[in-house]
Amino acid sequence: MSYQLPAIDRLGFCNVFLSAIGGDGANMSAKLLFKIAVTELDLDGAYDAKYGSEKKGTATDVSLRLCYKGTAVRTSGPTTTPHILAIFRPGLIETLQLNRGLQANATVIVNTTQTPDEIRDRLKMHSGRIVCVDAETIAEETGSRLNMPMMALICRALRFPQEQVEAVIAKTWPYAKDANLGAFKAAYDGVNEKEFAPRADYPLLPPALVARGQIGYLNMLNGGAIDAMTHSTVNRNNQVAGYGFVPTFDPSACTGCAVCMTVCSDPGGIVWKDGKVIGLDYAFCKGCMRCVEVCPQTKKGKALNRPEIAQVA
Ligand code: SF4
Ligand code: SF4
């Protein structure tokens, strides 16, 4: 067997966990990674994704468990002990306690303008490699999406053969080939990474549990209903994930064309009243910038614009 997984746990899996928010494309990129693993590299494994609601910037996550063919695959739920952790929104580090369950010597890939040292302290990571990349800027400059540079660095951490992966990307998205491959290559070239030795005051922590513990037959509500008090996202807003990175809006330049409404990944993000946009609701907007891309340039300028600020979280 020529390809070797970078790490495996006692069940025979290399665990990859992608933490993002709805609309980031984490699920789509993870599906492609899994396809490459199975069809190109002759691996096996299991796949789990929590996604669907893009409302209010809901946190989404995807788990890949990769193993050599012939390994007994006896679990398919989300992994809680990643060897590779990809953080699409660094604002999720503290909220979701993403350091919990991390393996020793894990690889953590973060979309950020912060340094590996800064991320290590935020994450309180015990040991391993932190790979920082400004994936947001790469995506914008190449006309691609956030998920492409992040996927590139997961492939790199998994040591997937770059040329083979690029061929699959080109075949999968023929019309966006140049943009996606541009983002993919830029990510490989644009990393700021560092290896960290174990640190006693940042111990390895057990995986996080939901608020009232793991759900099972002992505490599940009647009929297996999901406990809304524990799992509802109704009171969440996206400040945690999109903090500091939402579009600016100039009402004087808005023509009321409504194109932004057709692309918004959370329709609550754009406030529409009496035939025009009157502003953005930052409790809903997740900062995906899709509306900025489509908002037309007119004589009065462009109503929706990317903010002139650094990504701060
Ligand atoms: S308002 Fe714009 S940036 Fe905010 S979620 Fe909608 S499309 Fe994305
Ligand atoms: S796309 Fe721009 S101009 Fe058109 S309605 Fe939205 S904000 Fe206004």
Domains of the chain, start order: 14-196 (3.40.920.10), 239-305 (3.30.70.20)
Pocket test of ligand 2: the residue of 246, 248, 250, 259 to mutate, having most ligand atoms within 8 Å of its CB, is 259
Q: Is the CB of 66 under 6 A from ligand 2?
A: no
Residue 283 CA to ligand 2 centre (angstroms): 19
173, with CB counted inside 10 A (0-12, 13-18, 19+), is: middle
pLDDT band at 313 (very low <50, low <70, confident <90, very high): very low
Which residue has its alpha carbon closest to ligand 1 atom 1? 269
Residue 268 CA to ligand 1 centre (angstroms): 9
Residue 149 CA to ligand 2 centre (angstroms): 28
Ligand nearest to the CA of 289: 1
Residue among 59, 58, 61, 34 at smallest CA distance from 50:
61
Residue 286 CA to ligand 1 centre (angstroms): 6
Which residue has its alpha carbon closest to ligand 1 atom 2? 291
Residue 179 CA to ligand 1 centre (angstroms): 21
- Per residue in 15-63, pLDDT (tens digit) is 999 998 877 889 999 999 999 999 999 999 999 887 655 555 567 889 9
- Per residue in 83-110, pLDDT (tens digit) is 999 999 898 898 888 999 999 999 999 9
Q: Is the CB of 303 under 6 A from ligand 2?
A: yes
Alpha-carbon gap, residue 141 to 182, rounded angstroms:
9
- Per residue in 178-213, pLDDT (tens digit) is 999 999 999 998 899 999 999 999 999 988 655 455
- The structure tokens 């599906």 sit at 31
Closest atom of ligand 1 relative to the 246 alpha carbon: 3
| Opening angle at CA 177, ends 173 and 179, nearest 5 | 120
**At residue 116, what are phi and psi to the nearest 5 degrees?**
-55, -35
Q: Is 31 helix (H, G, I), strand (E, B) or coil?
A: helix
pLDDT band at 228 (very low <50, low <70, confident <90, very high): low
